[in-house]
Structure 1
């Protein structure tokens, strides 16, 4: 997954797009609400909620917005009840795609997601058709020019990280989902501030796509990202540097 996999850069690019489109607050409010509903409103006792709150604060969400989302989740305030659902499919070129959604109407959402896949030349699959390619992992991305690689590696290993890799000029620390919070806290305490820090889905293998197929894949993913019910999109494509830069501008 190192080098030209583009995986770490995909996540960084996605975060920047979310912020630019103004969608990040909506997605974070949904995540906070659902996390509070499932695990309670105390971030210290609810790791999923703590991660969502940390991400919201890092994106400059007002604390009042966060508090209201938590209260909607715990039932202290009225609000829409969201259901989590994950769709699996394939983009042109055989690229596997996972789409995590939060919706108040599953029938509407699945129809619209299926249409997006079909319009872009892909197809929505059955449960299990693509999920086996991905596994949940903690990921912290650091600016390769702003950190000293050996020092970060030593701190990450001492903190219990699984691995650290150099990917496209960035230092990427991987952890188990269970160790993510402890590793993140230890690295921040050591002076290493991540650009991206989240528990995510990492592909076990990638599919190389170029030319028209690469463009179609990115257009499909962008269309999915634009959907109001979509929280996260993961894909296992591998696009060459020059092609990626050309078609993702």
Structure 2
């Protein structure tokens, strides 16, 4: 076991909120379609698509809906005008924020994202102003009472990079994006069901936030960004303390 990883704060709050808003399926379908268009419709040969499929099925999307989205992307007949954009910026007190978008109107998206940063005391940065702080990884999480030795053995044999301990003692398997599918398959074959699995952007270091007023401003900015139709993912290096999380709940 190595390291210590903050993973739950924003990601799981985001998943719950998106489900309530009814937006999660729209964003998942968009990701499935674009991933299939760019890398082909076979999840076994397309790591990005495999991660998107796992995420969609984990959100209770039906297999038929998943396959239709893949077929639409692999057919290369729709969404050719959709482009992927990444915006980088700083929230209140310099918290790093990375915003991944898919859009058919670059000007609209840029305006919406810029407005969000300005509204909540942040500002957009230039290319690679914060992106260098984040790396793309696959992460597969298991409960704290899982068999640590079994997880470590399976993970390393399947090509994972490490197994880390989370804040509440959970075990987090870290992989490269390319190895994510093979590692997840190894756990599936062994009958081990993770609490979460995803490919995302993770910061090497986090900015501790213990002030409730500051945390509220950061959360409002993230929420506003996530509400935007063109935004797929929002990543931050903000690390909210337990007291702050309780106050925000």
TM-score with structure 1 setting the length: 0.90
* Counterparts in 2 of 1:59 and 1:33: CA distance versus 1, 3 Å: same
3-state SS of paired residue (2:93): coil
In the TM superposition, residue 205 of structure 1 has moved relative to its aligned partner by 1.1
In the TM superposition, residue 77 of structure 1 has moved relative to its aligned partner by 5.5
| RMSD (Å) for aligned C-alpha atoms | 2.0
Cα pair 1:120 1:216 within 8 Å, conserved: yes
3-state SS of paired residue (1:93): helix
Q: Does 1:149 align with 2:148?
A: yes
In the TM superposition, residue 159 of structure 1 has moved relative to its aligned partner by 2.7
3-state SS of paired residue (1:156): helix
- Find the aligned partners of 2:148 and 2:10 in 1 and give their Cα distance: 21
Equivalent positions of 1:82-231 (< 5 A) are: 82-145=82-145, 147-169=146-168, 170-211=170-211, 212-231=213-232
Unpaired stretches in structure 2, ≥5 consecutive residues: none
TM-score with structure 2 setting the length: 0.90
* Counterparts in 2 of 1:161 and 1:100: CA distance versus 1, 3 Å: same
Counterpart of 1:46? 46
* Count of matched residue pairs: 246
3-state SS of paired residue (1:238): strand
* Counterparts in 2 of 1:52 and 1:215: CA distance versus 1, 3 Å: same
Counterpart of 2:14? 14
Q: Write the deviation string for residues 6-38 of structure 1: whole angstroms up to 9, x where unpaired.
A: 334432332233223222110111001111111
Unpaired stretches in structure 1, ≥5 consecutive residues: none
Q: Does 1:242 align with 2:243?
A: yes
In the TM superposition, residue 164 of structure 1 has moved relative to its aligned partner by 1.5
In the TM superposition, residue 126 of structure 1 has moved relative to its aligned partner by 1.0
